[in-house]
């Protein structure tokens, strides 16, 4: 199974916002990423709009011809945005408004009823749902009860331990993916994946539908060029 690559363009928006104006243009970068071979575009708008803005999400809808994935904490403003834009996928992330970046998955048992309500609203509008979870079998089991279509494995711990040479960490992710598959859930993954660690993850974590990569891909593109980097990822994600 080919694992799809969704390119997160938040960091492109961060560069734009650092200088004001519209350079670099996130809409043009979304077009380029797809033309270069990306299977989808991911954005993660936050309430303070410090990178991707809500207006960007609406503008991107008309240019994303692959798969549009919008991530975020399902506060009312975010829910309204997603229902307005109608991306192919929404990924629910338990972010605190002041968080620098995502740093944990959902407690799918504690927040079960809340997630059921939010997920049902998205699914009733024809939007595939995914929820951020840590590689914890109890949290994966809990995800099934929420009604979600997929889980997204939060891979920061994998990336951190892999960089230290502790590759056995991948077993936790493999076990979580196997259980999710047995339960009928799709499997996505993301956070701190890069050109160095993605192939090992792909080789050892089965049933991987999609990875979302942003920060590392943009940094690597400064060195190798975005077209080359997207091709490099696609090569590493092949079976």
Q: Which one of 67, 71, 210, 220 is the catalytic residue?
A: 71
Q: Which of 51, 67, 152, 191 is catalytic?
A: 191
Selecting among 44, 51, 152, 220, the annotated active-site residue is 44
191 is catalytic: yes
Buried/exposed 55-79: b ≥16 CB within 10 Å, e otherwise: ebbeebeeebebbbbbbbbbeeebb
Contacts of 156 (CB under 8 A, 6+ apart): 103, 191, 192
**CA of 208: how far to CAs of 62, 216, 221, in Å?**
28, 19, 24
Counting every residue written for the chain, the total comes to 239
44 classed as catalytic: yes
Return the active site residues. Answer: 44, 71, 191
């Amino acid at each position: 199974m080919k694992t799809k690559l969704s390119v997160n363009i938040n960091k492109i928006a961060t560069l734009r916002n650092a200088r004001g104006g519209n350079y670099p243009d996130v809409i043009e970068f979304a077009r380029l990423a797809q033309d270069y071979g990306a299977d989808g575009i991911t954005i993660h708008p936050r309430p303070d709009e410090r990178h991707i803005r809500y207006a960007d999400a609406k503008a991107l809808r008309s240019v994303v011809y692959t798969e549009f994935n919008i991530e975020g904490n399902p506060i009312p403003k975010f829910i309204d945005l997603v229902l307005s834009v109608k991306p192919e996928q929404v990924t629910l992330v338990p972010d605190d408004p002041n968080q620098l970046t995502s740093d944990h998955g959902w407690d799918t048992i504690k927040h079960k009823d809340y997630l059921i309500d939010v997920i049902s609203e998205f699914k009733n509008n024809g939007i595939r749902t995914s929820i951020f979870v840590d590689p914890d079998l109890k949290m994966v089991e809990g995800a099934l009860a929420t009604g979600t279509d997929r889980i997204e494995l939060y891979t920061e711990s994998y990336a951190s331990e892999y960089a230290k040479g502790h590759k056995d960490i991948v077993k936790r992710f493999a076990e979580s993916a196997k259980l999710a598959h047995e339960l009928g859930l799709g499997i996505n993954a993301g956070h701190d994946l890069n050109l160095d660690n993605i192939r090992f993850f792909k080789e050892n974590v089965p049933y991987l539908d999609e990875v979302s990569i942003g920060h590392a891909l943009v940094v690597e593109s400064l060195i190798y060029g975005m077209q080359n980097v997207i091709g490099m990822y696609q090569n590493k994600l092949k079976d």
